[in-house]
Each structure stands twice: as structure tokens, then as C-alpha cells.
Structure 1
Amino acid sequence: MCARFPPRLLRHAPHHELDFAKKHIEHSSHKDFTQEDLREGMDLLEKGLSWLSDRTFCKAALVKQAAQQSLKHAIIYTTWKLEMSSRQQEFLQSLQEEQEEEFKLTESEMNIYQQIVCACGLPALQGEKDYLQAVFAEKLDDFDVANEQRKQFVAYAKKRAIAAPFTNSSDTELSSDELLEDSRSSAGLSDDSLIYDA
């Protein structure tokens, strides 16, 4: 896992370097960092991380891994919520079409039935779907940040000549584009394959 760590004197570290490294470790949101911020701040991040012992750096790297994986699974969860909403909507529309055809309802009966379908869900499902799509887009932006931060930690670990604690992990690294494509093609997958193969 991590090599032995030499003691370091944090009191001699420039305050802004440590603050930036701490912010980088604790935050993985597109609201805190843009991709440009991450690229331009790489030198400052490395300077801040250089003041950490190997042990503490490894703990920080594990935080970044957990943040990235948490966002990845939030995206998968949201994808399935969107899928469920779409399937419910298709079900209600299909049910409505069948009722119209099979029973040739009178106009008054049809109005009553449409009120039931509307009350049960078609507009509500569309509202939920719109909300989930917005959440999904935001989680993808956050995932981009977390993924880039994790890559920076791996690159810095190599420079520092220590093994990042997650380099032998079975976690699959995906870009947000790959994750988005994966979520679009997940309709044929089972829950187990999404959870255990992720």
C-alpha cells in the first residue's frame, strides 16, 4: 500500500499551498473547480501535497477515490430513476390507448378516465423526469471534476515515487462521456451488472 512516511513540518508550509490542497481534497464539485482551475492549479496542488507525509497523502488519495466512486454511482442511480420514470410513462400511455380502443368509452367515461391517468401520473412523471435530467447533468459535471482530481493524485503519487493506495483497485476509470454512453446503453443491463461490474 503506502510506503513509510517521513515526518514533515507543516508549520513551515506556505498557508496558501496547504489551503489549496485541503480544498482540493475536500471538494469535488464543478461549483468549486472548473476543468481549467484544475489544470492551472496543478503546480499549487503539488506544492501543497508535498508537505503531507506519505501516510496522510495516501489518506487524501483515498478521499478522492471515494468522491469519484460516489459520484459515479449517483449517476448510475439517477440513470435508473430516469429509466423507471420513462417506463412508467410508457406504461400509463399504453394503458390509456388500450382502454380507449378496447372499451370504446363514451366521452364522459373517457373524461373521467383521463382525469384518473392525469392524477396518477403522466404530468407528475414528466416533472420528475425533467428534474432527474437536471440532477444527472449536474452529477456529470461533478464527476468530471472528481475524475480529474483523482487522475492528478495518481500522477502526483508517481512523481513522489509511492504507490497510490487504489492503483490495484478493480474500479473502472471512466470519463464522463464514457459514463454517459454507458448510462444510455444500460437499458439492457440488470441491476446486478450495473452494481457489480461498475
Structure 2
Amino acid sequence: MKTKFITLFAFVVLLTSCVGAEDDLSSTIPVQDNKVLLLKVDYTTNTFEGGKELTFSDTTATFNIEVEYQQPGDFGGIQLYYKELDAKIFDGTIVWDGTGEINYPESFEPASSFEVTLTNDYVFPTEGFENVFNPTEGNYDYQTIWSAVQSLIKAREFVLSNPDAKARIFLYTPSVGVGNPEEWDWIIILKN
């Protein structure tokens, strides 16, 4: 009888320690980071120039972009925010008869630092594009712009990890008035 009691007691202790261990293991399972990818494409040549991946500690079920635009009399600017987190994702100045600059992100990784797929398939955001800032309400060929980044492994990772999302896009024009389109860039925004 004593042996049965010891065996039962050992089994209960072992079972209890296993349940605790499973709880500890589940807390170490990695959670997907909340990331936004900005890709910069030259306006006149549709050449990929660089990108920046932003990581956020908080997660949300939705991703909306809030735009703050200061129309340039002499100086203006545009800021984009991850609305749900009230977190800045882009900030650029706009100069009338001059040239503004991107203040945030402070730098973009060069195009050469992004890996490119060697396959000939074409990946496209299934929900298409949303122009988050289009003051001229012009119609643009987003397919041509997207072609500059669709072969990037990083862009494909974002599209595949969030297949129901639209790719957000806007034209950053740091120079207006007698602006120089060669200074302008498309900014493509992807959310994982």
C-alpha cells in the first residue's frame, strides 16, 4: 500500500510540474512583431532607392494612417501617423521654390541592402493600393510604381504576412511651385 501511495504521489508531483512547465514554455513563444515598412521609389525613373522598417512595441488589430499636412506658403510639411498608436511613421518638409527634406525616418537603408528574389513570379497586394495623400487628386499607375519593389524579399514578406491589407502610397514632393520632379519620391507603406 505504501508503494502505491508513493507512486501516486510521484505521479501527481510530476503532473503538476509538467503543467507549470507548459505554462512557462507558452510564455516564451515569440509573438509576431508589429512592423511597418516604408519603401522609397524615385518619381521620374520608378527606381527603388531605399527603405526603412519601423518596429512598434504595441500591436493593434487595424492599421490606419492619419495625415497632417501644412500647405506650403513658403514652407510646409507632411506628417503621417500610425493612427491607432499615435506613432509617427513619416515627417517631411515641403518648400515653395526650394527643396524640403525627410526628417523621419532619419535615414533609409540603401537599395543595395535589400535582398531581391531570383524568381520571375510577380507578387501584388491583393487588395490593391490606397493613396493616403493625393492633394492634386491625380490618377497614377500604381502597378508601375509597385514593379520597382515587388521583387524585394522584404516587401514580399510583408504582403504575404498580411494578404488582406492594401499597400498605402503617397507622393512626397519636397519642392513645389517651380518644383523639381526629379527630387520627388513615392513612399510605399506596408504593414505586416
TM-score, scaled relative to structure 2: 0.26
**Higher RCO (CA 8 Å, separation ≥ 6 residues):** 1
TM-score, scaled relative to structure 1: 0.25
Which one has the bigger strand percentage?
Answer: 2
